[in-house]
Amino acid sequence: MTPQVFKARVQGFSAALMCATILFLVYYMYSSFQRAYRFCFGEPELWADHWRVEDAAIIENSSRVSYFLIWSVVILLSAIATVAAIHLLNRCRKGLIFDAGTARSIQVLGGILVVAMIGDQVFGALELYLVTQHNPVHVELIRWQYDPTDFKTAALAVVLFMFGWVMRDAIEVEQTNKGFV
C-alpha cells in the first residue's frame, strides 16, 4: 500500500467516523439531559421511588437542582471530549495527519478525557449521598464507586495524551531537521 492510498483510506475512515461521532454526540446530549431532567424535575416520583430512598423522605427542590447541575457538568465534560474527538477526526479527514495541530488535538482530547473521567468519579462518589440525603434513617456516605470501565477509559486517555506529546516532539525534531542536506 502506497502512502497516498493509506492517507486516502485514513481520510475516508475519519470522515465516516466523524459523521457517526456527530450523531452519537447529538443522541448522547439528548438522552443524558432528558434522563437527568426526568429524574430531577420531569417525573419527581422517580427520585422518591429510588430503591435507596426511604418512604418518609421529602426531596427538596434545592437538592434536585444540585443533582441536575452536577450531572450537567459531567455531561458537558463528556460532550466537550466528544467535540475534541470530532475536531481531531476532522483534521484527519482534511489530510492533516502528521501535523503539529493534530498532535495538539490528540493531547487536548486525552487531557479532556482525563478531566471528564475525574468528573465522572467525583459525581459517582456524590450521587448516592445526594439521592439519599433526605432519608430520615439511613443516608449513604460520600464514597468512591469502583467501576473498571472508568479505569480503562482513563488509561486510554493517558495513552492518548502521551501519544500526542511524543508526536509533537517528533514533529519538532522533523522541523529542526528540515532544511538540512
Partner 1 sequence: MAIIVRLDVMLAMRKMRSKELAERIGITEQNLSLLKSGKVRGVRFETLSAICRELDCQPADLLEFTPDEPA
Contact residues for partner 1, defined by CB under 8 A: 178-181
Q: CB–CB of 125/143 below 8 Å? A: yes
In whole angstroms, how close is the CB of 181 to partner 1 at the nearest point? 4
Closer to partner 1 by CB, 149 or 176: give it.
Answer: 176
**How many Cβ atoms from other residues are within 10 Å of residue 124's Cβ?**
16
Nearest CA to 151 among 124, 128, 121, 112? 121
For residue 49, the 8-state DSSP code is T
Nearer of residues 146 and 180 to partner 1, judged by Cβ:
180
In the bound complex, what is the minimum distance in angstroms from residue 176's beta carbon to partner 1? 9
What is the rounded end-to-end Cα distance, in angstroms, of the chain? 28
In whole angstroms, the minimum distance from the beta carbon of 180 to partner 1 comes to 4
- Nearer CB in complex with partner 1: 148/179: 179
Least CB distance to partner 1 at residue 174 (A): 13
